[in-house]
Amino acid sequence: MFVLFQSPKLQIFAVTLNKIFYKSLKLLNNMNAEVSIIMGSTSDLPVMEEAAKILNELEIPFEINALSAHRTPDEVEIFAKSASDKGLKVIIAGAGMAAALPGVIASMTSIPIIGVPIKASMDGWDSLLSIVQMPPGIPVATVGINAARNAGILAAQMLALSNPELQKRLIIFKNSLKEKVVKANQDLSKVKFDFKVS
């Protein structure tokens, strides 16, 4: 980003702006991911990007990768066993069909795993049951079918327990949901029916 200005005052302003811009870029590059979004295949991306969007909105540093317990078991093991040392605090794992991925990751780390069942076959029931029905001792916090946005929000809520600034952003976010319902009710009050009494 570079802007040319005629007046010296504006030039100083532009230089300062550039410095801030590059400093914040540098800070972003130095940031460690707190959340890792993993998906069984890039065919899951249209669903899983909803988790990325809300993490981005809430200014939470994250990484996003495709890994498969079925197709790349060695890479999954390396990822899961090094997750804690990398500073990750929550893992969101989405997979469709026989969705072993979230559970396999959960078996190799004590970082909380949020599972996202992807609707890839059988309306997503195969994936939902594969992820939610974990044996005792290896929990995966499972959200609804294709509910990657909720997975992102849940991850944010976990992180907010030790991050007061993020907590504030979450409160603003939750209030915005309330405003949506208030507005919906205002709109509904204008709908006319002969027998509608309120």
At 33, phi and psi to the nearest 5? Answer: -65, 135
Dihedral of the alpha carbons of 81, 147, 129, 72, in degrees to the nearest 10: -40
Nearest-approach distance from CB 83 to ligand C2R, in angstroms: 16
Q: Is the distance from CB of 88 to CB of 117 less than 8 angstroms? A: no
Residue from 35, 38, 41, 60 touching ligand C2R (CB under 6 A): that is 41
Task: Decide if residue 120 touches ligand C2R (CB under 6 A).
Answer: yes
| Beta-sheet strand order (sheet of 35-39) | 62-66, 35-39, 90-96, 113-118, 141-142
Given 55, 80, 91, 95, the residue binding ligand C2R (CB under 6 A): 95
69 belongs to the binding site for ligand C2R (CB under 6 A): yes
Stretch that binds ligand C2R, among 2-10, 56-64, 95-103, 180-188 (CB under 6 A): 95-103
Q: How far is CA 134 from the centre of its chain?
A: 22
* Dist CA 134 CA 140 (whole Å): 7
Per CB under 6 A, the segment of 37-45, 105-113, 139-147, 156-164 that binds ligand C2R is 37-45
Q: Kindly tell me which residue out of 52, 99, 141, 153 binds ligand C2R, with binding defined by CB under 6 A.
A: 99
Distance between CA atoms of 140 and 142, rounded to whole angstroms? Answer: 6
Q: What angle do CA 61, 65, 69 make, to 5 degrees?
A: 130
Residue 65 within binding range of ligand C2R, rule CB under 6 A: no
Site for ligand C2R in 122-161 (CB under 6 A): none
Q: Does 43 bind ligand C2R (CB under 6 A)?
A: yes
CB of 121 to ligand C2R, least distance (A): 8
The footprint of ligand C2R (CB under 6 A) covers 39-41, 43-44, 68-71, 95-101, 118, 120
